[in-house]
Chains A and B, each alone.
Chain A
Amino acid sequence: MAEAQNIPAGSTTAGTIAVAAESTVATRMSAPPSFDVQDFPVPHGREEEWRFTPLERLRGLHDGTAVATGTGVKVDVEAPAGVTVETVGRDDARIGKAGKPVDRVAAQAYSAFEKAGVITVPKETVLTEPIRIAVHGEGGTAFAHQVVELGAFAEAVVVIDHTGDAVLAANVDYLLGDGAKLTVVSVQDWDDKAVHVAQHNALVGRDASFKSVVVTFGGDVVRLHPRVQYAATGGEAELFGLYFTDAGQHQEHRLLVDHNTPHCKSNVVYKGALQGEEAHAVWIGDVLIEAAAEGTDTYEMNRNLVLTDGARVDSVPNLEIETGEIVGAGHASATGRFDDEQLFYLMARGIPADEARRLVVRGFFAELVQQIGVDDIEARLLEKIEAELEATV
C-alpha cells in the first residue's frame, strides 16, 4: 500500500502497553473464525473465550440443544424515507461480509437463521431521523441475522432496542461505505430471564466513522461481541458501552478492534455499575495493531463502579502491537467501590444515603452518556439509570 510508505519515522507510543504472550488475541480463541457451527467444539467452560460465561445458563445456545421456536422474537423496523428495508434469504451476498463468527454461539446463529434483515441507506443519503429496530422477545428461542449497509458518504443513526423475554443468538453486520457515518445504539433492556448472545461486526470503509453505543441493563445472561475491522485507511471507530448489572445478572462485553489497515483510529470506553449478590460483569477489550497498520491511534478504557458487596467484575484489556510506527496506543482499566467512607462523607453533608448513591452513579455515567450524541437516547438512559437505582436502593 502506497500510504504505508509515507509514514514519518519516529512516531511515539503513549499510554501503557502490555503484551501478554499467553493470552494474545490470536491465541485466545479455541477455533479459527468460521460460518459453520461444526467447526467449533462444544465449549466446556475452561476455554479462554468462555471461562467467564455461565454456560449452564445459556439455555443450550452453545451445545446445539437450543431449537428455534415459532414465537422467538418480533422485529419491527421503523425507517425514514429513502431507506430500504428488506427480508432476504440466506444466499444474499451482503450477509456475512463484515466478518465471520468467532465462537460457537455466533456460528450457531449463523448456521441456524432462516431469513435475514437487511437495511440499506443509499450513498450520500443523510438521515435526520434514526432508523429504529425494535426486537421484542415473545418467550421463545430465535437465531437472527441483521445487516445494516451505508453507501458512500451516507449518514445514519440506528437504534436497536431489545425488550421482552427471549433466548436469542444473533449476528449483526455493519457495512460502512467510504466516508459514511454510522451511529448504532444497541439497548439491551430485556426482562430478567432473557438470554442474549450476539456478535456485532463492523467493516469500516475508507475515511468512514463508526460509533457503537452498547447499553445493557436487563437479561439473565447478555454476552455481546462488538468487533471492528477497517476496509481501508482513514477509518474511525468509537465503541462506547454502559452497563448496569444487578443481582444475579451476567453481562459480558467482549470487544475487538482489529487495526489491519494504516491510519485508522479507535476509541473504546465502557463503563459499568454493579449492585447486588452475584452481579457479574465481564469486559474483555482486545485491540490488535497489525504489522501493516502504521499510523494507528487507539485507546481503550473500562471503568467499573461496585456499589454493594457480592458483585464481581472481570476486566481484561489486551493490546497487541505488531508495529512501532503508530501515533498512540493505550489502555486503562479500573474498578472502584462506592465505599462506606464516601457514603459517610456525603451523609455528613446532610445528603441521605440513597441520594448519595444516586449522586455518585449519575456522575459516573454522565460524561459517557453525553458522548452518545442522540438526544432522546441520552434522556432515556439517564431515566433508566435513575430507575435502576430506585429499584434497588
Chain B
Amino acid sequence: MATLEIKDLHVTVEADNATKEILKGVDLTVKQGETHAIMGPNGSGKSTLAYSLAGHPKYTITSGTVTLDGEDVLEMSVDERARAGLFLAMQYPVEVPGVSVSNFLRTSATAVRGEAPKLRTWVKEVKEAMEKLSMDPSFAERNVNEGFSGGEKKRHEILQLELLKPKIAILDETDSGLDVDALRIVSEGINRVRENGEVGTLLVTHYTRILRYIKPDHVHVFAGGRIVESGGAELADQLEAEGYDKYVKGGASA
C-alpha cells in the first residue's frame, strides 16, 4: 500500500537576499485511500509544503525526510517524483505556448506510464475524461493553459489527475477562484479518482467550502510552518465556525 511519509520537514526560501524558514518541522503520513485536508491561513506555509513535495527548485530542504513507499523522495528530480507516483495539482498552472493540451497529455502519460498509451484506447480515455469534466473537445487543441479561464485551468489539472492516476495526489488550493458550478465539477472529478481507492489525497485549502463535496478522513490545521492540530472531519466544522484566529495568534488557550 502506497504511503507518503513526511518527517520533521524544514524548508527555507531565499527572499530579499535573506533566507527565511517557511516549514518548521512538518510530520505527516498519507496512505493510499486516505484523504487529508491541510487547512490554514494565508502565509502559513501550506502551499510551500505542496511545492516542496513536488520538488520546486525555489525551496531548499534543510532537514527532515520525505519517503514514498520507503524511497527517498528528496533525492529525486521533479520528473522522477512524478513518475514515482506523486502528483501536484497547482494553484497557478503556467502557460506553455506552442504545446497543445493533447500533445502534452500524451507526452506526460507516456512518461508516467513508462510506455506510450495505445492510440485508440488513449483517444477514448481522454475524450471520456474530458466529457466527465464538462470540457469541450476543442480544448485538446488549445495550447496548455494559454488563455484558459481560472476554472478551465483547474479542470485541466484534474483531467491530468484522472489520466495519470498517481499514488499520492497533492491538490494545492484547487478550489480557489472557482464558482459553485466549477467547484462541483472539479470536486466530482477528484472524488472519481478517490473512489477507486488507489490514491492518497492531500487537499490543501484555505476554505472549508470544498470539504462539503470532498469528505476528508483527517483534517490538519497548518499554522506557522507546521501542523498545530489534527482531527477528523469535525475539525473542519470547528474551523468553519471559529476561523483561524486562535491558531494565528499562537495561543491554544482561546
Contacts and interface: CB of A to CB of B under 8 A. Distances in A.
Contact of A341 (B79, B94, B111): B94
A323 interface: no
B23 interface: no
B111 A350 contact: yes
Contacts of A366: 98
B68 interface: no
Interface stretch (B38-46, B102-110, B120-128, B217-225): B102-110
A363 B57 contact: no
A359 B99 contact: yes
B62 interface: no
Interface stretch (B3-11, B82-90, B183-191, B236-244): B82-90
A302 to B, nearest CB: 15
Contacts of B104: 346, 349, 359
Nearest to B54: A348
B56 interface: yes
A364 B98 contact: yes
A347 B94 contact: no
11 contacts: A305-B98, A342-B95, A342-B96, A347-B55, A348-B82, A349-B104, A349-B160, A350-B164, A353-B79, A363-B96, A364-B97
Contacts of B103: 359, 363
Nearest to A339: B94
Given A355-B107, A359-B103, A364-B98, A349 B82 contact: yes
A352 interface: yes
B82 A347 contact: yes
B98 A350 contact: no
Contacts of A364: 97-98
A349 B86 CA distance: 9
Contacts of A348: 54-55, 78-79, 81-82, 87-88, 90
Contacts of A365: 98
A345 B112 contact: no
A305 B97 CA distance: 10
Q: Ordered nearest first, which 4 A-B pairs have the shortest CB separation?
A: A363-B98, A350-B111, A350-B82, A349-B108
B111 A352 contact: yes
A interface, over-half SS: helix
A164 to B, nearest CB: 32
Nearest to B111: A350
Nearest to B85: A350
A350 B83 contact: yes
Nearest to A358: B107
A19 interface: no
B143 interface: yes
Interface in A321-379: 336, 340-342, 344-353, 355, 359-366
Contacts of A362: 98
Contacts of B117: none
Contacts of A344: 54, 56-57, 78, 94
A307 to B, nearest CB: 12
Given A344-B57, A344-B78, A349 B112 contact: yes
Contacts of A346: 96, 104, 108
Contacts of B79: 347-348, 350-353
B57 A340 contact: yes
Interface string B54-95: 111100000000000000000001110111000110100111
Contacts of A336: 97
A357 to B, nearest CB: 11
A352 B111 CA distance: 8
A345 B54 CA distance: 10
Among A336, A345, A365, the one with the most B-chain Cβ atoms within 10 Å of its Cβ is: A345
B100 interface: yes
A351 B143 contact: no
A351 B96 CA distance: 14
Nearest to B88: A348
Nearest to A366: B98
Contact of B90 (A305, A345, A360): A345
Given A347-B82, A365-B98, 7 more contacts: A344-B56, A348-B55, A349-B82, A349-B108, A350-B112, A351-B107, A351-B111
Contacts of B100: 363
A351 B81 CA distance: 10
A355 B99 contact: no
A350 B77 CA distance: 10
Contacts of B88: 348
B58 to A, nearest CB: 8
A348 B98 CA distance: 18
Nearest to B144: A345
Nearest to B77: A347
Contacts of B143: 363
A363 to B, nearest CB: 3
Nearest to B81: A348
Nearest to A352: B79
